[in-house]
Structure 1
Amino acid sequence: MSAIGRVLLNGVATVAMGVSLLAVTAPAQAQRYEQVPQSAYCASNDNRFARCQVPWRDAELVQQASKARCIRDQTWGFDRYGIWVDRGCRGQFVPARGYGNGNGYGGGGRPGWGRPQQLQVRCESHGGNYQVCPVDLRRDDSVRLVNRLSGADCREGRSWGWSRDGIWVDRGCRADFVVERRY
């Protein structure tokens, strides 16, 4: 082989080795600097059990995306493997309050210390029809309207309200609501 051939062959080998090293090391670097997800979508498709891994200690359902009801410890829950869903429950989940930024290391103190946690929910009555937006509400929670989106009037008790099942709207009311979690 000529001297030029050896130089070209060495150059090609060096480039190939460099590309293979980049291919091996780049994903590891990308994972190291990846942000912790602040929400996760988990779905039970075809009514089958499914599990979604998250780096949190607990989760909270913030928006149901299925017609099937999502009920904690019945059709969805959280265990050491992450979020589980079953029987058609699909929804958007966030780290449960009281666990800091969701990095799995706490940092938020005990629930009930500090100011209440807030969750924003959009609920819309289309065609003037009654609609329930499922939100896991507890006895000590409170709900308030923060931004009316419709031309229709939104009056608590008349065209919007809330119960343990969630926030309801009627008569064309469309709005953003804030749920304040109290402990």
Structure 2
Amino acid sequence: MKHVLISTLICLATLGAHAEDYQVGDRLAKPAAEAAGSYKTITFDDLMPLDWDPNAIFKEIDLSALQDNDPRAAEMMDKIKQAWEQAPVVPALSGQKIRMAGFLVRLEGDDKEIREFLLVPYFGACIHVPPPPANQVVYVKPRKPVPVGPDMGAVWVNGIISLAAAKTDLGDAGYRIDAIEVEPYREEGQ
């Protein structure tokens, strides 16, 4: 539990540099459909199979009938966690050279550089329970460490995507990107 708290504080510190720019739940602008260089630009929506409904689990439960201390609420959270840990991925993406934007959630690094991180679809995803489904979390291993700086809350990642599950204290990832380049986020065309 202590490790999760420390990781959450690190996450908040990493995202805190841009707190004035984003509200919890904010998503980045949808990128242009055209490829940037030799990379195919994709979004988090592309990481979900077309026939998968991430909200299906909520249709089984009447949330308005539950209180926080209700044992059924804890049971519901366990069901959500299990369903989202098993969220299906899109096999056709494996091995593709992709470019995608998201919010950086530091996993490994120090006060100068980040060596491993999660890429998530919306601001604040690392501090909410439950975290996004596994097919909406990407484990990123940059070729070279990413400098810590004020622009690193939202980033573009260029690299090779693979289907590789990763369990972390901040959420489970269904994909991995071996990043060739990580750069501060700017809307395409700027």
Larger relative contact order (CA 8 Å, sep ≥ 6) = 2
Q: Would you say same fold, with TM above 0.5?
A: no
Q: TM-score, normalised by structure 1?
A: 0.24
Q: TM-score, normalised by structure 2?
A: 0.23
